[in-house]
Each structure stands twice: as structure tokens, then as C-alpha cells.
Amino acid sequence: MSPLLTKIVSGFALFCLVILIALLYEGVDRIVHARMQRRFGPPLLQPFYDVIKLLGKESIIPRRAVRAVFQASPWMAMTLTLLIFLYIPIGSIPPILAGNGDIILILYLLAASAVMMVIGGFASGSPYANVGSQREMVLMMSYELPLALVVLTLAWLVYKRGVPGAPFSLETFVSVPVWNTVGLIGSMGIFALLLSLLGVVPAEVGKVPMDIAEAKTEILEGFLAEYSGRNLALFKLTFALRSLAMSALLVPLFFPFSLGKLFGLNGASFVLVDFIWFWVKVFLVQIVAITVVRTMYGRFKIWQASQFYWFQMGGLALAGMVLVTLDVMFF
């Protein structure tokens, strides 16, 4: 097989895998969420049932909607989210498109899929969707600051410490965990960066306390208000995939520790153990960053969320940046 064909085949296999895992994790998320509220919760496979049922339903297009944009945006949003997984190293397996993209591209893809949702909302011609889209845009502008600060600081750190590989490439972070490159002060700085990024996760994936753009008790699911049937199923998939992608992005950045190396494995068993270990780590991150947080808190208002990201989370990221800089400069 030619390398291109290999990439295409493995890419599609990966897409199928991440869709399954994303829906499975959402099922677990709903059960854990329910158990923390002393409820039983839905069956594990409920997200699959939901998506399959929605795929068989009629997609209604509102009379006032911009038809083409309204129809295209769910496809675009989901495709862009799926593409992220082509650039994330899974365990010790390098990304399928290794060398062709880095964290900056991943952040662009995340933002682009959110923009697609916003466009879909604006195109649906509903006041609720309009408000939801406005809110999503404001939210995006707010959380980009801490997100950019975290990523820049980490890239600068690995560059300064002379870790082999391109500074923005995720493989660089996998090869040498960032925690190993710094002393005590730097570790504190990286921990602050981690907290800041964890704070950004709910907004990226649209879960409480940052589900402001969807807010069902306020604006009736916001930009999803007019979506139904297949389009809604695609958006549901997009949300599940975004949760998975954000968690999967955190793992190589902050928790790249390999279980295979620890046990001194090699060959196929090394790859397999690290592959499974990667998804276990993603699962744990998703539970901590999304499920627990959405159980603990209520929803912010949009200006409160903006304030939270610009000042609290931005401040935290800045503090982390300063600490890491101090570590690199003086120790």
C-alpha cells in the first residue's frame, strides 16, 4: 500500500474509533453525573441510541433559515472536530498526520468548529439561536486568552529547555514530559497552567458551568434550537467529540507518562498497553474536568463567564507563565 492510502485507511479507522469512544465516554459521563446526584442515570449506551434515533428522524429546516448554511454547518463542525484526532499522538503511536500540524492547528480546528456552530445558529433565523450564537462568540473571545497563554508558555518552555523536536508539536511533549524539564517553581507554574486549561475545558465543550450558549432553561438550547433529526445528531456527535478532543489534548501536554516504558515493555505489547493507557488517561481527565465540574456548579451568566476567563483564569495562566519563566531564567 502506498503511504497515502495507508494514511487514508488508518484515518478512517481512527474516525470510527473516536466516534465510538466519544459516545461511550458520554454514556459513562451521564451515569457518573447521575450517581453523584444520587440518581441511577441512563443506560451506558444511551448516547448511541440517541444518535441512531436522531439519524432516522426528519431534519426540519425553518422557513426563515439560510438553507445551505444551515445544512452545511453541522457537517463542517463535525468534520473539523474529527480532523483534530489526526494530529493527536495516541499513546506511543505518532499522529497519523505527524509533521503536518501542531497544537496551533488543533486550536484553530477547535475554534473553527465552534465558529461553524455559531454560523449554523445565525443561519437558523430564530431569536433563541441568535442569542445563543452571540453568547458563543463572546465566550470564544473570552477563553482564547488563557488558552493561548498556556500553549505559548509550554511551547516556549520546551524550546528553551532544548527538548528535541519542534516546540509546538505534540510529539515533543510526549517524548519528554514537561514536568521533568523544570524545578519546583516551574512545577508550580505548570500546575497553574494545568488548572487554567482545565478551567477552559467546560467552555470549549459547552458543559455546565459554561453551557451559556446552549442554556436550555434560558434560551432553549441556544444555537441548537432549530436543529432536528440528522443535523442534531451531527451536533450531538460534535459535542461528544469536542469533549473527547479537549481531554485528549490535555493528556499529551500534561500527562504523557508512558505505562509501557514503566514496565519495560517493547514491540506490539508496548504499543498496545500505551494505546489503552492513553484512553484511560483521557477518560480520567474527562471525568475530572467535565463531569465533576458540571455536577458541582450552576451556570454563569455570559458577562460573568467573560470576567472569569479574562481575570481569574487569565490571571492564573499569567502567574503560571511568570513562574515558568522564572524557573527557566534563574534555575
Partner 1 sequence: MAIGEGKTYTIPIGPVHVGLKEPITAWLQVDGERIVDVRIRPGAIHRGIEYMARERNPIQVIYLAERICGICSFAHIISFVRAVEDAASIPVPPRAKYIRTILLELERIHSHILWAGVACYTFGYDSAFNLGMLLREKVMDVLEAMTGNRVNYGVGTIGGVRRDITPQVAGAIEEMVEYYKREFSYFYNAVTEDPIVKARMRNVGVLSEKDAVRYCAVGPTARASGLRVDLRWSSPYEAYEDLNVEPIVPQDYFGNAQGDVFDRFFVRVMEVYQSLEIIEQCMDGLPEGPIMHEPKPAKLLNLLKTADGVGQSSIEAPRGDDTHVIKLTQAQENVTWWKVRAPTYANAMSWPIMFKDQEIADAPLIINSIDPCISCMERMLIVNEKGSSTVATKEELIRICRDKTRRLMHR
Query: Closer to partner 1 at the Cβ: 73 or 126?
Result: 126
- How many amino acids of this chain bind partner 1 (CB under 8 A)? 31
The answer to whether the beta carbons of residues 305 and 210 sit under 8 Å apart is yes
What is the contact mask toward partner 1 in residues 91 to 130, using x (rule: CB under 8 A)? ------------------------------------xx-x
Of 6, 10, 37, 180, which lies in the binding site for partner 1, with binding defined by CB under 8 A? 37
Closest separation between CB of residue 74 and partner 1, Å? 22
141 binds partner 1 (CB under 8 A): no
Of 261, 301, 311, 331, which lies in the binding site for partner 1, with binding defined by CB under 8 A? 301
CA 274, CA 266: separation in Å to the nearest integer? 11
Closest separation between CB of residue 140 and partner 1, Å? 13
CA 245, CA 263: separation in Å to the nearest integer? 27
CA 193, CA 187: separation in Å to the nearest integer? 10
Query: Closer to partner 1 at the Cβ: 146 or 222?
Result: 222
CA 170, CA 256: separation in Å to the nearest integer? 10
303 binds partner 1 (CB under 8 A): yes
Query: Closer to partner 1 at the Cβ: 267 or 298?
Result: 298
Interacting positions 179-218 with partner 1 (CB under 8 A):
208-209, 211-212, 215-218
In 37-126, where does DSSP find H-type helix?
46-55, 67-84, 103-123
CA 38, CA 33: separation in Å to the nearest integer? 9
Helices 3-36 and 46-55, axial angle in degrees (round to 10): 120
Look at the block and give the residue holding cell 483564569: 313
Phi-psi region of 41 (alpha: psi -120 to 50; beta: other; left: phi over 0): left
Which residues sit at the interface with partner 1, rule CB under 8 A?
36-39, 127-128, 130-131, 134-135, 138, 208-209, 211-212, 215-220, 295-304
